[in-house]
Structures are given as C-alpha cells and as structure tokens.
C-alpha cells in the first residue's frame, strides 16, 4: 500500500495546474474523476512519472492487456515524436484518473484502480528515430529455441508495445481503446494479448499467482525496492528490457498426469509451491538431496533444477499473466510469460536455452509467441516517453 496514492490528492494537484480557484467545470473531455464517490479500489493510482516506468516494480494488477504495433508509412523522427507525445499525455491522464483529450466516455477513466501504462520500443521504432545502424544488437527476436518453439507471427515481435495493467478490467479496456485510437495515424495493431491474475482481494496481498495448471507461478522473484531488484532489472540509464513469451498450455494432456507426476515435473508441490525438499514456498530447494534409492528428490528434468544456472546473476523478474480465449479456440489456454532484465543475452537467454534442452514441463507447454522490447527510462513531467532517443549527442 505504501506506493499507492489516493486519487483525491492527485486530482487536486492536476486540477490546480490547469484550472484556477476551484471552478466548477462541466465538460465531456475534461471531467475530473469523482474522487469523493469512487470506492477505494477504483480511486487508487500509481504515479506515472518517475525514474523508472511504472508497471514493472510492485505488485502486478489483476488485469493486463499487451498491444504490439507495426509502424506504418516509413515514419520520420518527427512522426514518432508526435505519436509518443500523444500517448504520453494519454497515459499520464488515464493513470491519474483523468480522461484523455477527446474522450467521450470520461466516466470510464474515473476509476483507474492502479492503472499503469508501460511503453516498449521494438527495433523498428528505434530505427525510425536514430537509424537502423544504431539499433542495439540485442533488440530483436531471441535466438531460436528449436526444441520447443512453435512461434506464430501473429503473436510475435512488433515496433511498439503498450502494457496496460489495472485492477479494473473496464478501465483497462477503456485505456487500451483510447491509446490505440491515438496510434491509428501512425501504426496498426500487430497483436494483442489479454491476461489476468488472481482477482484483487481474493488472496492476501503478496500471494504468488497460480497459473491455469494450478501451479504456484512466480516464486523467488527479486524483491521490489531492493538493491537486488535494481541489479537484476534496471540498466544504468534506468531503462530495462522485456521478453514476452506466449506459452500455450495443454490442459487435456495435463489431465493425464497425476499429482505426483505434475509435482515431479516442476520440483515443487502443487499445494503450496514448496520445493519437494522443503516445507514452505520460499525454502531454498536442495538440488543435491537424494531419496532412499539414491535418486535426487528434485529430478534431473525438474523445471526448478533446469531453470537455475551456475551463475547467480542469470536471473530476471517474472511478471506473468494467464490467458484464456474461451473453450473452442486454438491454443485456448496458457501463460503470457513476461520477463524484465537488464541484459537479455546474459540473464535470460542462457536460462531459456537450458529449459529448451530439458524441462519436465515441455511435455505440456508450447511457446507460440515471442517478442523483445526495450523499455525506456521513466518519464519526467513535461517530457515524453523515450525522450532520450531524441536527445542530441552530448
């Protein structure tokens, strides 16, 4: 709760900046959020401005939509600047519970419920501003993981990413609608992925999410607001990198595995996520422990054994969401796996390579989408997201 700010204060500050003297203002496009009437969850906001972008460090919200765009029409740097200027303005308004310009449904913006809008740039957008030859080599598709990947173009890649997350699915949908509207002249939607975690208040705060296999998913993540988190996630310029993997989960074949087999595949108990060598979720797994027959308790292909390399710096922040397209759809159920790390090649790729070679879960899971984005530094008031791209050489 400590990072949250009640809307009333934010709205008062915002109102004071533009309208003097407590004037009554009635307008579809400018109605301030009704802080008095909004219930506590709806009124909660997460500050948009800051050193780092919001939507990464902190407890993930219940709902999230990712939208990836392809730029259209060979944009010039000035076009990108106009696009990012519009989207930055929209984002700062929406996340503080204020309607964006030209919003004819301002009521839907009045309950942000911890709404965050996080921007990611793909190689196409960076190239459009600074030129193809200045795009860093890591900003592009991951190396192929031939053993497991069944990637589809319509779930992969993109020039621009919006991560819109919040505890109210309606305000998330509204925010996505208005943000996409402001991209129309510059880009077209390449893919979107709608995801969800446990509903707000369903479990005590801080409870690790369960995925749709029933597994506790996300144990041993870096702790927010710690030096360890900063080391793992942030780059020196306060940016980070984001890997998105859409992983289809086969519930039909999963059903054929009994509970013992399911737990052996991961190395953790389904009941509470505890390692098979421990009793609580956060116990450190004993990868060397053996049973009476001399076999390791946590098997050779157990997910938690394979996901651990010998190098403790090869870790990343996981911020996964479940997806469910509804029965009858292809690859209907799965995980929108999202990882943030300072250095993809050093931190993420070696772990993914180990898991591609061997992971008990691979029998039931299939990566069908993959994308990499640069997440620029946080936005200072008066600036646009990605301002560093437009700065002159020092």
Q: Residues interacting with other proteins, by CB under 8 A?
A: 17-21, 23-30, 77-78, 81-83, 85-86, 89, 101-102, 104, 126, 129-131, 134-136, 181-182, 184-186, 237, 239, 376, 382-384, 388-394
CB of 110 to other proteins, least distance (A): 15
| Helix/strand/coil for 372 | strand
Q: Please, are residues 95 and 197 in contact by the beta-carbon 8 Å criterion?
A: no
CA dist., res. 257 & res. 313, Å (int): 34
CB of 187 to other proteins, least distance (A): 11
- Residue written as token pair 């098997």: 299
Q: Please, are residues 245 and 145 in contact by the beta-carbon 8 Å criterion?
A: no
Of the pair 151, 179, the CB lying nearest other proteins is at: 179
CB of 169 to other proteins, least distance (A): 25
CB of 106 to other proteins, least distance (A): 10
CB of 12 to other proteins, least distance (A): 14
CA dist., res. 335 & res. 325, Å (int): 11
Of the pair 137, 260, the CB lying nearest other proteins is at: 137
Of the pair 26, 292, the CB lying nearest other proteins is at: 26
Of the pair 103, 167, the CB lying nearest other proteins is at: 103
Of the pair 51, 147, the CB lying nearest other proteins is at: 51
Query: What phi, psi does 295 have (nearest 5°)?
Result: -85, 150
CB of 136 to other proteins, least distance (A): 7
Q: Is the dihedral of CA 68, 114, 319, 331 positive or negative?
A: negative
Strands 63-71 and 187-196: antiparallel
Secondary structure string (H, E, C) spanning 171-229: HHHHHHHHHHHCCCCCEEEEEEEEEECCCCCCCCCCCCCECCCCCECCCCCCCCCCHHH
Of the pair 97, 275, the CB lying nearest other proteins is at: 97
């Amino acid at each position: 709760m400590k990072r949250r700010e009640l809307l009333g204060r934010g709205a008062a500050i915002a109102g004071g900046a533009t309208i003097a003297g407590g004037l009554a203002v009635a307008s579809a496009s400018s109605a301030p959020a009704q802080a008095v009437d909004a219930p506590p969850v709806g009124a909660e906001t997460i500050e948009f401005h800051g050193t780092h972008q919001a939507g990464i460090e902190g407890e993930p919200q219940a709902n999230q939509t990712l939208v990836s765009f392809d730029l259209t029409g060979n944009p010039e740097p000035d076009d990108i600047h106009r696009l990012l200027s519009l989207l930055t303005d929209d984002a700062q308004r929406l996340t503080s519970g204020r309607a964006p310009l030209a919003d004819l449904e301002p009521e839907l913006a009045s309950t942000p419920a911890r709404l965050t809008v996080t921007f990611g740039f793909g190689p196409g957008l960076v190239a459009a501003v600074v030129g193809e030859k200045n795009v860093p080599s890591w900003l592009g598709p991951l190396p192929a993981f031939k053993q497991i990947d069944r990637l589809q173009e319509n779930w992969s890649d993109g020039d621009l990413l919006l991560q819109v997350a919040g505890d109210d699915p309606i305000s998330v949908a509204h925010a996505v609608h208005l943000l996409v509207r402001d991209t129309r002249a510059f880009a077209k939607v390449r893919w979107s992925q709608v995801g969800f975690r446990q509903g707000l208040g369903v479990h005590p705060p801080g409870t690790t999410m369960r995925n749709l296999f029933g597994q506790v998913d996300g144990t041993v993540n870096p702790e927010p607001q710690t030096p360890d988190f900063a080391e793992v996630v942030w780059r020196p310029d306060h940016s980070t990198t984001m890997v998105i993997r859409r992983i289809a989960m086969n519930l039909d074949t999963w059903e054929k595995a009994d509970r013992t087999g399911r737990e052996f595949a991961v190395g953790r108990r389904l009941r509470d996520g505890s390692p098979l060598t421990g009793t609580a979720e956060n116990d450190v797994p004993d990868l060397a422990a053996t049973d009476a027959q001399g076999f390791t308790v946590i098997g050779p292909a157990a997910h938690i054994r394979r996901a651990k390399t010998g190098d403790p710096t090869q870790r990343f922040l996981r911020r996964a969401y479940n997806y469910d397209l509804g029965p009858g759809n292809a690859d209907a159920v799965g995980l929108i796996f999202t990882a943030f790390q300072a250095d993809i090649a050093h931190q993420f790729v070696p772990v993914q390579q180990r898991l591609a070679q061997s992971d008990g879960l691979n029998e039931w899971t299939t990566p069908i989408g993959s994308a990499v984005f640069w997440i620029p530094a946080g936005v200072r008031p008066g600036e646009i997201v990605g301002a560093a791209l437009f700065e002159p050489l020092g």
